[in-house]
Amino acid sequence: MGKGVMVFAPLPQLTVMVEQVSDEPELHLHAGGQGLWQARMITALNVPVTFCALLGKGEVGRVLISLFDDEGLELKAVRRHADSGWYVQERRDDERHVVAENPGSPLGRHDGDELYALALAEGLKASICLLSGAADPSLVPPDFYSRLGGDLQRNGTAIAADLAGEHLNALLEAKPAFIKVSDEELADDELADKNDEASIVKAAQLLRDRGAATVVVSRAEKPAIALMDDGAYQVRIPKLTVRDEHGAGDSMTAGVVAVLAQGGDLKDAIRTGAAAGTLNVTQHGLGAGRADAIAELVKLVELEPLESS
Ligand SMILES: Nc1ncnc2c1ncn2[C@@H]1O[C@H](COP(=O)(O)OP(=O)(O)O)[C@@H](O)[C@H]1O
Ligand SMILES: O=P(O)(O)OC[C@H]1O[C@](O)(COP(=O)(O)O)[C@@H](O)[C@@H]1O
């Protein structure tokens, strides 16, 4: 068994960003989506990553492949004729607006089977698999995650996930070692009142009862809540100047998974996740997250037992 992470994000997309910083707009292209940001942060923490996905053979897919190459991310891809999805967003004064989008085609039977076989083979080489980037249930069927997660888990690869809604619901059957959800996702899924800590703890306990060993609920600037075998904790972070909250949750998940992949302690993993998420909000783009800055921030993160637990 290796010591790396396999990030499974079935349908990465091309993100085209038009940045209105001054009179001259700037154009940036990046391989986008949740799994990509997670893979970048895991790489920044010096843990090897393999990224497993489905990519189109058209123009968008070809651009994505060259962007993966430029970043040095190890990509294992199934290629198909239907092209990859994309979206165009405009950023002005730290606000983002989607201008146009095309999410791409759903997983078909043939490409879905090929992707499944590839993800299983690659996942079994890793010490932990992060199942992410679920897109819409109409694009990636929820049972894809439960089958893949279950097969990997039964064959000795731990599962971590950053999913919500129907995908999370299905994935719980695979008994993941770790899941990260946000208070907003719990509220959207009608599992908790996001302004009521007791209701969040109750929802996290429900997710544990349904199969997740450790559950972290992030709540942006409020302390995250972590539930694990030995109890419930508040994850206290230092106060910092916030610049860009985009991708904070991805950084947090990546930080936890990077430490777990190296066989690290669960509480250290959660501290690292909180530090990675927090560092991310202090700067634009989480690719800039550096291991040394995160290691410094980890020292200021505290796990405090929740009195009611
Ligand atoms: N405004 C903020 N101030 C400080 N830390 C933040 C802020 N927003 C996010 N974070 C950090 O990032 C983590 C994940 O953030 P959150 O916004 O809850 O995730 P998501 O992007 O999934 O909604 C938080 O637990 C915290 O450590
Ligand atoms: O298209 P981009 O810029 O790569 O952004 C994709 C990111 O947006 C999100 O979907 C939403 O991010 P936030 O909710 O943290 O703003 C992330 O999960 C994902 O990483």
3-state percent helix, strand, coil for the chain, nearest multiple of 5: 40, 25, 35
Residue linked to tokens 């290629």? 79
Please tell me the residue having the least CA distance from ligand 1 atom 3. Answer: 221
C-beta of 219 in contact with ligand 1 (< 6 A): yes
Q: Is 278 close to ligand 1, i.e. is its CB under 6 Å away? A: yes
pLDDT score of 245: 84
Which residue's entry shows tokens 């932990």? 128
Gap from CA of 131 to ligand 2 centroid (Å): 15
Residues 6+ apart with CB under 8 A from 86: 13, 14, 15, 16, 60, 101, 102, 104
CA 109 / ligand 1 centre spacing (Å): 37
Q: Whose CA is nearest to atom 5 of ligand 2?
A: 33
Tell me, what's the ipTM?
Answer: 0.94
In ligand 2, which atom is closest to the CA atom of 37? Answer: 20
Task: Check: pTM over 0.80? Answer yes or no.
Answer: yes
Taking the alpha carbons at both ends of the chain, their separation in whole angstroms is 36
* Alpha helices (H) in 245-300, listed in sequence order: 248-261, 266-281, 291-298
Residue 231 Cα to ligand 2 midpoint, Å, equals: 30
For residue range 229-288, list pLDDT tens digits in order. 999 999 999 888 888 888 899 999 999 999 999 999 999 999 999 999 999 888 776 455
Is the CB of 34 within 6 Å of ligand 2? yes
Write out pLDDT tens, residues 285-304.
645 558 999 999 999 999 99
Cα–Cα distance for residue pair 13/136, rounded to 1 Å: 13
Any ligand 1 atom below 6 A from CB of 237 = yes
Q: Considering only CA atoms, which residue is closest to atom 12 of ligand 2?
A: 247
Q: Would you say the CB of residue 218 lies under 6 angstroms from ligand 1?
A: yes
From residue 5, alpha-carbon distances to 24, 78, 99, 202, 262 in Å are 40, 19, 34, 30, 9
Domains of the chain: 5-305 (3.40.1190.20)
